[in-house]
Amino acid sequence: MERPTGRTHVTPPPRLLPWPSPEGNPCYLVTDDDGSYLSRLADDLEALQLATGIDVLGHAREVLEDPASPYREVRFAGLRLAECLSDALRVAESRGMRLPGPDTEDA
């Protein structure tokens, strides 16, 4: 007979992945292994999305600082900024969901 160790296994909350389903719905990953293939793939894509946001922000600033920028360039910059902001908010939500909660023993 196996003796209880006094420790309970707590499954971490599902991880919001940085890509939607083909239908546009959120995708989640449930795993105990932060080093799994899908976890590493999600980490890499999040890093790429944030780096792309930095790059797009730099280009958008150039366009927006020039009062002679054509309407199409300004509109394109705005659309790309909106895409990047959506990605960054998704990364923030995913990472926020994985933060440890306050220690209930201290309360």
Global pTM reads 0.79
Q: Maximum distance among all alpha carbons in the chain?
A: 79
Give the pLDDT confidence of 33-91 residue by residue, as tens digits.
Answer: 888 999 999 999 999 999 999 999 999 999 999 999 999 999 999 999 999 999 999 99
Residue given tokens 């790309």 in the structure block: 80
Q: What is the average pLDDT across 5-26?
A: 84
Q: What is the average pLDDT across 98-105?
A: 72
Residues 88, 89, 94, 97: what is their CA dihedral angle, to the nearest 10 degrees? 140
Residue 101: CA atoms inside 13 Å, Cβ hemisphere, count? 6
pLDDT of residue 67: 96
User: Is the pLDDT confidence value at 6 over 90?
Assistant: no
Both tokens assigned to 15: 């991880």
For the beta carbon of residue 99, count every other beta carbon within 10 angstroms.
8
Per-residue DSSP letter, 3: P
